[in-house]
Structure 1
Amino acid sequence: MSATRLIDRGVIRVSGEDARDFLQNLVTNDLDPVTPGRAGYGALLTPQGKIICDFFILALSPEDGGGFLLDTPLLQTADLMKRLKLYKLRAKVVLEDLTEKSAILVSADGAPLPVEAGFVYDDPRLPALGQRAIADAEGIEALVMAEPDAYHARRITLGIPAGGRDFPYGDTFPHEALLDQLGGVSFKKGCYIGQEVVSRMQHRGTARTRVVPVVFDEGIATETGAEATAGGKPLGTIGSGTDGRALAMLRLDRLADALAAGTAPLGGGLAFHLAEKPTFIRFPFPGEPGFGAAAGVAL
């Protein structure tokens, strides 16, 4: 077991008799399967369909007070609280920011976390990521055995993007951040904020920009936020990296055109190529069957 604490995470509790319906009408994913033994992953969107904040959703048993805990990005927690309060209206819901007295633990190597870590749950995005836990901050450091960099290196190797590192909040559609590939969007549930835009992208296949794993040819990744180009034309942005690998938000149709023309893509001036496609990604990469006019469509 190798647990690490992510200090860049916050915690919001949503409780009250209307808590489930309240969240169900707001977030991208379906809350019906979310139970005390099974967490969910989703996001709150703008009406234009862009991600305000993505988060994990943990249901609490009646013995633990009921309701839900949201494992959120720290820098977005206050804004998320503000927006949830705006949408509350007359719903019988209680909203609490528990960030100061809570801690988020994650598995740095995919191994199970200790049961004493608190509310432990499997990462709903990908089994290989292992477990996460929402814990009481007091005394939690005794369980921390690894640095956060170890967790992020594993995440990058597995091809899992992180908000604020690999895609910007407020300017990214769920498809671009791979929420449709990682179980973060339901295309069968009822309405939620931004649903029309997300559904249109899904059915028309207009998601040409995607976060994908890349490998730098010289074995050294450029800095996070560097521009990706090909032949002097913009492709996107390089995200977080480790050991010569990185995640990059790229226009895959433009990348395909560059590769067809024999032009090497560059990130911060360093040559890179697409890494092997992660098994959870279902849309075609450039050069694969099915990649064409509808580049980047989720199949």
Structure 2
Amino acid sequence: MNQTLKNPVIKLLIWVILLLWSIAVLYPLLWTLLGSLKNNKQFFLNSPWSLPHFPLLWSNFSNVWTTYHLGTYFTNSLVVAGGSTLLGLILSATTAYILGRYPFKGSKLLFMTYIASLAVPLQLAIIPLFFLMQDLHLINKPLGLILVYTAQTLPFGIFLLVGFYKALPKELEEAAVIDGASYFGTFFRIMLPLSQPGLIAVAITNVLANWNEYFFGSILINDSAHYTVPVGVAIMQAEFQYRTEWGPLFAALMITTIPTLIFYIIFQRQIASGITAGSVK
């Protein structure tokens, strides 16, 4: 395999493929950025693919943030994505620790149930879920979305973290018990810090999934004051088709995309290393 990669023709082919893939990924982002700096006249009189005219309309970003309430949607998404990610980490870490380190009768069946749930989309249960949220008075409340997002991402977190806790040496727990540490002390002081790569991988995956989630946000929330970013941008898009405010729409898309790009660029190594390290015992 290493000899094959040293072949200059193979290396050149790999570089060409990666270059084409990078262009295919970056071009839509660049086109969206250029579109956010135009006004309606430039969209309709010129080609949609043309460059924006000077002066560049950076005011589209401030306009969509305040006038079209994207700032409110952004804050709502921060609360929902952050709250669900934190709750999901707590539940997945504690559950995975018990399943991985203290097997009990039925623990394998419980673990397989979590794994099997990965193949069943939660969207299939939207009707009973909606009535359950309604009975709990959680419709149009961020807490309702936080609980739903946590339930949706919990199985993956458990699946990934069980591998981490199984791989940790048993001698660490024995040494902690000899030193007088309780079960909670052993978990929070020793095991939880050692599983940091897995926790980071789970956190990043959950944040990206919860930030971009649209389906449940559009059904469980119908009050514009509690819209998340994907729902708010979708509503703006429907309205702008009649108002022809394409510049602010593209600006809204860029504001929505930038946080996930920054988050992924910063933690991309942790995502790869965390998933790889947790995949084997």
Task: Report TM bin, short chain.
Answer: under 0.3
Larger radius of gyration: 2
Normalised by the size of structure 1, how large is the TM-score? Answer: 0.26
* Larger relative helix fraction: 2
Scaled by the length of structure 2, the TM-score of the pair is: 0.27
Relative contact order higher in (CA < 8 Å, ≥ 6 apart): 2
